[in-house]
Amino acid sequence: MKNTIRILSSVTILAMMFSLTGCYYDEVVENSTTNQNVSFANDIQPLFNANCVACHPSLSDPDLTEGNSYNFIRVIDPALVVPGDANGSELYQRLTGVGNIMPPSGSLSNADIKLVEDWINQGALNN
């Protein structure tokens, strides 16, 4: 009887130890773009080309075509991108579903939205 109680106690203690430990998959994985410098020419304009230019071609409002987009979003309509403040930028708000979501065909991937957020928060440089 004592052996049975000892075994049950040991099994109970082991079960409690396993239930209180974290799971390997609970680990938070940081987004790889967080510390990466985002380039307008290499990262943001290609997103515009692939997802935005069909509805925002040259001479439209906003003009997101290559060679015109940066000037438009920073000079002609500065509310679209507020350097250092993605949450205060209309472009970022639209990508995340505030107001009319852009693009209307469906949201960009989380990774692409994160690139835009990082670019804006890094100062929205024309690099």
Start-end of H helices in 28-96: 45-51, 69-71, 90-95
Report field, pTM of the whole predicted structure over 0.75: no
pLDDT at 79: 92
Q: Is 34 exposed, middle or buried, given 0-12, 13-18 or 19+ CB atoms closer than 10 A? A: exposed
In a domain, 56, yes or no: yes
- Residue 2: what pLDDT? 65
| Number of structural domains found in the chain | 1
Domain contains 5: no
- Tell me, yes or no, whether 6 lies in a domain: no
Number of residues assigned to the chain: 127
Helix (H) or strand (E) holding 11: helix 2-20
pLDDT, residue 116, reads: 97
Predicted pLDDT at 28: 41
**51 found inside a domain:** yes
| Spans of the chain, pLDDT less than 70 | 1-35
Domain that holds residue 47: 40-121
Q: How far is CA 22 from the centre of its chain?
A: 27
Does any domain span residue 62? yes
Task: Please give the pLDDT value at position 100.
Answer: 86
Q: Residue 72 domain-assigned? A: yes
Q: What is the pLDDT of residue 30?
A: 44
